[in-house]
Structure 1
Amino acid sequence: MFYGLGSMGVQGISPFTAVVVGLILYNGSVLAEVFRAGILAVPKGQSEAAYALGLRKTRVMTMILLPQAVRTMLPVIIAQLVVALKDTALGFIITYQELLYQINYLGSQISYQTSIIPAAIVGGAIYVGCCLILAGIAKYLESRMRRSKKVSNKNTPVVPGAGNLDMGNLGTGGNT
C-alpha cells in the first residue's frame, strides 16, 4: 500500500497510516470470516426457536447466536490477535519505526559497541512475552467461559420424561 499508492501518484501517506490500514484490511477480512463461520456453527434450531418465541433478528443475534458463537470463536480471535501483533513487524519494510526497526537500529550502532544478536534476542523476548500475555488472557477467558457454562447448567431445571432438555440454550439437546 505504501509503495503501490506512491507509484500511482498518491503522495503524503505516512508509514504509520500504511501499516495500520494494511493490517486493518487484512485482519478485518480474516475476522469477518471467523465471525461468519462462528455464527453459522451455532445449530439452526437455536435461531428458529428464538424466532418462534417472537424475537426480532437483532435480538436473536445479540441474545442467542453471538453468546454461543463467541465461545466457539474465542480461540481463533485470540490467535488472530497474536498474528496481528507479529504482523506489525512488517512495518519494518516501509521504515516505520516499530520494534524490529529499533532492534536493527540499536544492533547496528557502533557507539554502543554491540552486535545485532543481543538486540535481536531482547526484541525476540519482547515479542514472545507479548504473545504469552495474549495466550494467558485467552486461557483465562476460556476457563472463565467454561466455568460460567458449568454454573448455568447446574441451575437448569430437570423435567421428568423430558430427556436432556436444556432450557438455558433453548432446547439444543433432548426433545426439541
Structure 2
Amino acid sequence: MSSVLYDVPGPRAMARNRVLGVLTVIVIAVIVGYFVWRLIDTGQFTAEKWSAFTYANVWLNIGAATLATLSTFGAAAVGAIVLGFVLAIGRMSDHAWIRVPFTAVVEFLRAVPVLIFMFLLYYGLPVIDVRVSPYWAVVIALVAYNGSVLSEVIRAGVESLPRGQSEAGYALGLRKAGVMRLVLLPQAVRAMMPVIIAQLVVTLKDTALGFIITYPELLFYAKYLGSQPSLDSPIIPSTIVVAVIYIGLCLLLSFIATTVEKRLRRSPGGGAVAAANPPLQQGTDTELIVAQGGEPRGPAR
C-alpha cells in the first residue's frame, strides 16, 4: 500500500523508525539534562542568583521593558502589513514601469539584514546630521524587512488562486483594482494567514535586536540586570525570565492568530445556499424548467 507522496513503510521500516525515534529522544534528554546539571553545578539556581526578582522595582522595570517591546512590535506589525500590501500590489502591476521598481525595492529590502538596517538608521544617519531615536530605528528596520517578506507572501497567495476567480470578477464588470480588492486579496489573505502570523512572530522576536542600539526592551534590561554585581550578576536567571516572557507573548500571538484564522475560514450560510441550488443538468430548456419546479413551455416561436 502506498500514498501519492511516499510509500507506506513496512514492518521493518516501522521498527527502524521507532528505534531512531527512541534514540533521538534519549540524545535530546541527555543534552538537556547535562545543560540543567551544569546550571545547578555552577549555582545558577541558588537563592542568591534569584534574589533580584524579590524586588518590586525589578518587576516594574521588566513590565516597562515588556511594554516597550510590545509597542515596537505593534507599530512594526501594522507598518509591515501595510507595506506588504503596497509592495505586493505594485509587484503584480501590469505596467512594467511600476512592476520593475517595486520588484527592485522588494529584493533590496529582503536582502539587507534587520540588524544592518538598525545600524544604518541609528549610527549611520547621524553622519549626515539626521538623528533617529532607537525606537524609530527598530520600528523602521522591522517594517522594511518584514514588509518585503509579507509582500512576497501575499503575492504568492494571490497567484496561487485559480485563474477563474479573476475571470469571474472581470465578467461581472469589475476593473483590476476591484477584482484585486474584492475577489483576490481576501482569499489570498485567508489562505496565507498561517504564514503571515508566522512572520509576525518573527517580527516580535526580532525586536530583541534593539538592545544593540540601546533600545530599552526586554533583552536590554535582562543584560543590564545580569551585569549588576550587587545582585550577584544574575545573567542566567534574567535570561530565563525574559525567555519565558517572550515564549508567552509568542504563544498568545499564535492563539489570537488561530482564532482569527478559524473565523476567517468559517463561511456562514455557505452550506445552506449550496444545498438550495440544484445542480446544473444537461438537457432541453423544458427539462431544466421542470427540474426546477416550473411549468413546461412550448418551443419559442
Please say which structure displays the higher CA radius of gyration.
2
Q: State the partner residue of 1:152.
A: 270
Specify the alignment match of 1:173 in structure 2: none
Deviates more, 1:81-90 or 1:40-49: 40-49
Deviation at 1:104, TM superposition (A): 0.7
Aligned to 2:244: 125
* 1:129–1:80 distance in 2 versus 1, CA, 3 Å: same
- Deviation at residue 159 of structure 1 after TM alignment: 2.2
Which residue in 2 is equivalent to 1:5? 125
Paired with 1:162 and 1:95, the residues of 2 have a C-alpha distance of 70
* Counterpart for residue 37 of structure 1: 156
Root mean square deviation of aligned Cα: 2.0
Percent of matched pairs sharing the same residue: 56
Cα offset for 1:9? 3.3
- AA matched with 1:89: A
Q: What does residue 161 of structure 1 align with? A: 280
SS at match of 1:91: helix
1:141 CA displacement: 1.6
What TM-score, normalized by structure 2, do the two folds share? 0.50
Letter matched to residue 62 of structure 1: R
Q: Secondary structure at the match of 1:96?
A: coil
Deviations 1:49-73 (A, max 9, x none): 1111112223212221122111111
- Which shows bigger deviation, 99-108 or 9-18? 9-18
2:187 matched to 1:48?
A: no
- More divergent stretch after superposition (57-66 vs 41-50): 57-66
2:140 to 18, 21, 37: 21
SS in 1 for 2:231: coil
Per the TM alignment, residue 162 of structure 1 is displaced from its structure 2 partner at its CA by: 5.2
Q: Does 1:97 align with 2:216?
A: yes
Post-superposition offset of 1:28: 1.0
Instruction: Determine if contact 2:135/2:215 at 8 Å carries over to the other structure.
Output: yes
> Residue 111 of structure 1: CA displacement?
2.9
| Residue 111 in structure 1 maps to residue 220 in structure 2 | no
**What runs of 5+ residues in structure 1 fail to find an aligned partner?**
164-176
Normalised by the length of structure 1, the TM-score is: 0.82
Q: Judging changes above 3 Å, is the alpha-carbon distance between structure 1 residues 41 and 52 closer, same or farther for their aligned structure 2 residues?
A: same
Q: In 2 relative to 1, CA 162–112 (structure 1 residues): closer, same or farther, beyond 3 Å?
A: farther
| Residues 1:75 and 2:164 aligned together | no
Structure 2 partner of 1:167: none
Q: Which amino acid aligns with 1:152?
A: G
Structure-2 residue corresponding to 1:166: none
The one-letter amino acid of 1:94's match is: I
CA 74–44 in structure 1, closer or farther in 2 if over 3 Å, else same: same
- Give the C-alpha shift of residue 144 in structure 1: 1.9
Confirm whether residue 66 of structure 1 aligns to residue 174 of structure 2.
Answer: no
Q: How many aligned positions are there?
A: 161
Once the 2 structures are TM-superposed, how far is the Cα of residue 150 of structure 1 from its aligned partner? 6.7
CA contact (8 A) 2:125 2:131 kept: no
- What is aligned with 1:85? 204
